[in-house]
């Protein structure tokens, strides 16, 4: 059985290809402009519809793609907000502590006395409360027989022993 090389489908394809190539080569001379204009007028509503539809679909795709970016940005902003809230809370604590310390410093009668602030670093081991040790000594200007006062200028005792970096205060009570 011999094969037919030129079937009807191949003949139709070749005819369409030859006509298309002919139209391509003839169009630069402007011979097909009226046909082209007619085709564009017919295709315009479809072209406009598909163009607007493709823009809407592209915009929707961009929006859906940006949701992931917005979620990530939102997480970063929440983390930053939490960090800043924590920092604000810490600063408020430091502010309140600063206010309290300023009140304590301003209530001591600095104008009448040469005061030296100190911390208690030891006390009577028998828990009788008869003396305390402070972290200031002769290098800080502390001398024996000096008074020891606390918050609001209340006298609590007298310096009885002094070392270069500490002093023993005998309490009045």
pLDDT per residue, tens digit, the chain (173 aa), is: 455 666 788 888 889 888 877 777 766 666 667 777 787 788 888 888 888 888 888 888 787 778 888 889 999 999 999 999 999 999 999 888 888 877 766 555 555 667 788 888 988 877 676 889 999 999 988 999 998 888 767 788 899 999 999 999 998 87
The confidence score (pLDDT) of residue 105 equals 63
For residue 147, the cross-strand partners are: 158
Q: CB of 48 within 8 A of CB of 40? A: no
Task: Indicate the pairing of strand 131-134 with strand 120-123.
Answer: antiparallel
Q: What is the pTM of this model?
A: 0.38
In the DSSP assignment, the letter for residue 3 is: P
For residue 150, the cross-strand partners are: 154
Q: Which one is the CATH code of 120-171: 2.102.10.10, 3.40.50.2300, 2.40.10.340, 1.10.10.10?
A: 2.40.10.340
Planar angle of CA 60, 65, 68, nearest 5 degrees: 135
For residue 149, the cross-strand partners are: 155
Q: Where are the domains of the chain?
A: 31-107, 120-171
The confidence score (pLDDT) of residue 1 equals 47
**N-terminal to C-terminal alpha carbon distance within the chain:** 132
């Amino acid at each position: 059985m011999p094969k037919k090389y030129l079937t009807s489908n191949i003949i139709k394809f070749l005819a369409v290809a030859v006509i298309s190539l002919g139209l391509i080569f003839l169009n630069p001379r402007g011979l097909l402009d009226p046909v082209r204009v007619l085709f564009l007028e017919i295709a315009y509503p479809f072209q406009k519809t598909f163009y607007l539809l493709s823009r809407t679909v592209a915009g929707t795709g961009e929006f859906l793609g940006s949701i992931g970016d917005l979620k990530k940005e939102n997480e970063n902003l929440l983390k930053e907000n939490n960090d800043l809230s924590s920092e604000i809370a810490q600063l408020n604590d430091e502010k309140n502590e600063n206010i309290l310390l300023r009140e304590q410093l301003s209530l001591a009668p600095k104008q009448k006395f040469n005061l030296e602030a100190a911390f208690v670093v030891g006390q009577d081991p028998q828990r009788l409360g008869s003396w305390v040790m402070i972290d200031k000594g002769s290098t800080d200007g502390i001398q024996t027989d000096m008074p020891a006062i606390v918050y609001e200028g209340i006298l609590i005792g007298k310096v009885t022993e002094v070392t270069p970096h500490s002093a023993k205060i005998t309490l009045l009570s």
